[in-house]
A = this chain, B = another copy of it.
Amino acid sequence: MFYTDGKLQFPVRVESPDPHFARALQQAIGGVEGEIRVAMQYFFQACGARGNPKFRDLLMNTAAEELGHIEMLATAVALNLEGAPVSVKEQVAGDPVASAVLGGLNMKNLLSAGLSAMPVDSDGVPFDMSHIYASGNIAADMTANVAAESTGRVLATRLFNLTNDRGMKEMLSYLIARDTMHQNQWMAALEELGGPSKVFPIPNGFPQEQELQEFSYAYLGFQQDGSEPVPGRWSDGKSIDGKGSFKTMVPQPMGQKPVLGPAKPDSGAQAEQS
């Protein structure tokens, strides 16, 4: 069950409304690195969490925080859109500045939402919930969360660098700090699950003797000239999961050209395919 107090987790101030920056902020709401994504991802991971209940609690608690971040950003978008023109009043249409401002907006922020935030990204593309990764495997979920917070913090620092509005910089310095925590938090959860040597390869419940272990720690090269691929930590030394040793191989095709056979009659193929 969820509750609200209608207040903001952190103050949202805009000194100089900037409609272009409103557009950029939309990425942090409805982009694939944005807050809807993490809020809903943690929410659904919590709902499907099996095993130790502390992970459900951790996830649902953080989902609640992220809902509050959407609220902050939606407020920031609306405040930045204050500067956008909504009416020509017989003069704006010919005004290149107003026109440039209009041209640089997500038009839907104006036309569909009346100068408010929307669950879309910075190019106006709606968020698609297929980005909610909730795999039923708690460790895989944690890796997805580290990734989400990593791209999320990259985005937040880009936004920070794009504005010189003090209010916006303060808000973003808070959100960046939270992303720092959340990156660490999900890595800590992986540590709580035992760290790399216990957790990986994910899922650790699958018996590795059932996989073709000859290829489990081999860096395969697919260079056209048959040369070895450029080496690195991934081609030498103990594997990160501690269960094998990296090596390099140049593979030959083990299978032949596939032959599907003729098309079935009545399957809609050309007669020549039968």
Contacts and interface: CB of A to CB of B under 8 A. Distances in A.
B4 A50 contact: no
A133 B147 contact: yes
**Chain copies in the assembled complex:** 6
Given A116-B136, A146-B143, A258-B8, A51 B164 contact: no
Nearest to A159: B111
A68 B200 CA distance: 25
Interface residues of A, number: 199
Interface string A75-88: 10011001000111
Contacts of A10: 254-255
A44 B180 contact: no
Interface string A54-97: 10111011111101101110110011001000111111010011
A151 B79 CA distance: 22
A230 to B, nearest CB: 4
Contact of A206 (B56, B157, B165, B254): B157
B44 A118 contact: yes
A126 B123 CA distance: 11
Given A63-B4, A100-B99, A184-B246, A264 B115 contact: yes
What are the 8 A-B residue pairs with the smallest beta carbon separation, nearest first? A114-B136, A103-B104, A48-B116, A8-B255, A123-B124, A51-B273, A107-B122, A7-B253
